[in-house]
Amino acid sequence: DAGITQSPRHKVTETGTPVTLRCHQTENHRYMYWYRQDPGHGLRLIHYSYGVKDTDKGEVSDGYSVSRSKTEDFLLTLESATSSQTSVYFCAISESSTGGNGELFFGEGSRLTVL
Amino acid sequence: QQQVKQSPQSLIVQKGGISIINCAYENTAFDYFPWYQQFPGKGPALLIAIRPDVSEKKEGRFTISFNKSAKQFSLHIMDSQPGDSATYFCAATKGGATNKLIFGTGTLLAVQP
């Protein structure tokens, strides 16, 4: 298994509170991603990073921010959580951004419930 | 707008049977089509992938069939086993760009013993 650790694995919070999810990798891969998984929607990209301090928006970035101060860590922050952000969040990494087999390696997910 | 449409949403197959999951895409620029497998409580993992220069790719019991003119591709699982019970996601992108992968909505497969 790819060395990806997500924390926390489960979190229940209240509407309006800030939440930070952490993704830590030991693979030294340059590219890191945050996805959310919801029934009927599959996996949707929130933000991704192509290097330290280099990030970009994905398909569903509203309400989320990210930071990457070290190669191994990619943080996802919900500044003010809403019930619509209740989801399972997956971190993924890849060795390259294009070409090759374009393989993503996923973490085990963080289940977030916003009450 | 869903650029990759996946069906069925769920599928029940008897052990030893063939499981078939279908996907259709809209963007003719897509040129890389992976399938990911996800077990409960785990993240998705790459299962098999195909590029449009071939019409079929087989790896063990798993086969991707690709129809470029119809803009469709499908996953066939031969001799389905209870251990294959999982959620399967098709995906598509251009140039293998991992930051542009568009996933289907997923198919929950249950293989009954």
Q: What is the DSSP string of B55-95?
A: SEEEETTEEEEEETTTTEEEEEESS--GGG-EEEEEEEBST
Instruction: Check residue B95 and give its pLDDT.
Output: 75
Q: Do A97 and B6 count as a contact with CB atoms less than 8 A apart?
A: no
Residue A7: other Cβ atoms inside 10 A: 14
Instruction: Report yes or no: B43 and A109 within 8 Å, Cβ to Cβ.
Output: yes
Instruction: Check residue B100 and give its pLDDT.
Output: 79
Q: Do B99 and A107 count as a contact with CB atoms less than 8 A apart?
A: no
**First CA to last CA distance, chain A:** 33
Q: Do B46 and A99 count as a contact with CB atoms less than 8 A apart?
A: no
Q: Do A45 and B6 count as a contact with CB atoms less than 8 A apart?
A: no
Written as one letter, the residue type at A86 is: T
Mind telling me how many Å the CA of A27 is from chain B's nearest CA? 16
B49, two tokens? 């992938």
Instruction: Check residue A103 and give its pLDDT.
Output: 83
Q: CA distances (Å), B88 to each of A112, B6, B19, B79, B108, in order?
A: 22, 10, 11, 17, 7
CB within 8 Å of B60: residues ≥ 6 apart: none
Distance (Å, whole) CA A94 – CA A106: 9
Instruction: Check residue B16 and give its pLDDT.
Output: 97
Q: Which residues of chain A have pLDDT under 70?
A: 1-2, 97-102
Chain A residues whose C-beta is within 8 A of a chain B C-beta are 4, 31, 33, 40-45, 48, 50, 56, 58, 90, 92, 94, 96-109
- Chain B hits for A105, Cβ within 8 Å: 45
CB proximity B16 to A under 8 Å: no
B29, two tokens? 């620029």
CB within 8 Å of A1: residues ≥ 6 apart: none
CB proximity B88 to A under 8 Å: no
Closest partner residue to A43 (CB to CB) among B89, B97, B99 is B89
A104, two tokens? 């993503």
User: Which pLDDT tens digits describe chain B residue by residue (113 residues)?
Assistant: 568 999 999 999 999 999 999 999 999 999 889 999 999 999 999 999 998 889 999 999 999 999 999 999 999 999 999 999 999 999 998 876 777 789 999 999 999 99
Residue of B nearest to A111 (CA): B41
DSSP-assigned beta bridge partners for residue B113: none
- Find how far residue B65's CA is from the centre of its chain: 10
Residue of B nearest to A45 (CA): B99
Instruction: Check residue A97 and give its pLDDT.
Output: 67
* CB-defined contacts A:B, below 8 A: 70
Residue in B37, B42, B23, B50 with CA at minimum distance from that of residue B104: B23
Instruction: Check residue B35 and give its pLDDT.
Output: 96
Instruction: Check residue A114 and give its pLDDT.
Output: 97
Q: Do B101 and A45 count as a contact with CB atoms less than 8 A apart?
A: yes
